Amino acid sequence: LNTQRADLVMVTSRYCAEVVQREYGVPADRVAVVPEAIDLEGWDDQFARAQRRPRPGPVVLSVARMYPRKRLGDLLRAGAILRGRLADARIRIVGRGPEWDALGRLHAELGLGDSVRLLGDLSRERLAEEYVNADLFCLPSVQEGFGIVFLEAMAAGLPVVACRAAAIPEVVLDGVTGVLTPPRDPVALAAALEGLLRDPERARRLGAEGRRRTAGFTPRHVAERFLDAVRSSMHALSGPSSLEAP
């Protein structure tokens, strides 16, 4: 396998590093964690130009390709619970994918009506509008090697509700930038959503901290980590690297 022949294997999270070591037998000293980068300047420009809409109640946003591992059915079920507790709350889900039809059927079975909207794919400009018009972000995925969408939400200043699974706790810090719940648990998910929607000051603090955290994931910062990993590997193999500054 290429992973076993490589002098350096780069992965996007500690979770992925553990998988590579366990499944492919790559020694820990040949694995480096370099996270994904977010175009913070580009998103900031989109957010600044996005139209703000009047909102009759709080809005929860989710953005995902509709694959089973995203567990969007759990979000629909949580939405059904939330509707009974916060009648004016709205959930808006952006994206399409293999589960589009199944989620549409579940939406109808739960009788969610306008309390949950499946919006399909949107342009980047329209997506920016959804971010700036939301109060919090939720994606109950159970399998992420990183989760760039969480950084996008944090860049918009949104607190995040997600699951304690895979690499997600490395991106969304529980109690710091968001709230993590047990995976596959719509009841816990609904409770976390309700808790933040009823405590806007806490939601604001989490969102502000998430926004600050995104500064460490700009292309420049990630490129520096990439080069540091390469230099370290080359030092280990053959002494000082040609990438060293003179």
Query: Each residue of 95-130: pLDDT tens digit?
Result: 999 999 999 999 999 999 999 999 999 999 999 999
* Residue 96: count of CB within 10 angstroms of its CB: 16
Q: Residue 5: its pLDDT value, please?
A: 85
Cα–Cα distances in Å, from 105 out to 64, 90, 99, 186, 215? 18, 19, 10, 18, 40
Burial (CB < 10 A; 0-12, 13-18, 19+), residue 2, is: exposed
Query: Is 240 a residue whose pLDDT tops 90?
Result: no
| Token output for 33 | 């964690």
CA distance 166 to 160: 16
Domains within the chain, CATH numbers bracketed: 53-216 (3.40.50.2000)
Are the beta carbons of 190 and 168 closer than 8 angstroms? no
- pLDDT, one tens digit per residue, over 47-90 is 999 999 998 899 999 999 999 999 999 999 999 999 999 999 99
CA distance 49 to 68: 34
Of all residues in the chain, what percent carry a pLDDT higher than 70? Answer: 96
Q: Please, which residues have CB within 8 angstroms of residue 98's CB and are 6 or more apart in sequence?
A: 66, 67, 68
Taking residues 210-222, report their average pLDDT: 98
222 three-class SS:
helix
Q: What is the pTM of this model?
A: 0.94
Q: Which helix (H) or strand (E) holds 193?
A: helix 186-197
Taking residues 185-207, report their average pLDDT: 99
Taking residues 15-40, report their average pLDDT: 97
pLDDT confidence band for 203 (50 / 70 / 90) = very high
Looking from the CA of 147 toward its CB, the CA atoms found within 13 Å total: 34
Q: Residue 1: its pLDDT value, please?
A: 63
Are the beta carbons of 149 and 38 closer than 8 angstroms? no
Span of 21-30, 101-110, 175-184 with lowest mean pLDDT? 21-30
Q: Residue 239: its pLDDT value, please?
A: 57
Q: Residue 2: its pLDDT value, please?
A: 78
Q: Residue 58: its pLDDT value, please?
A: 98
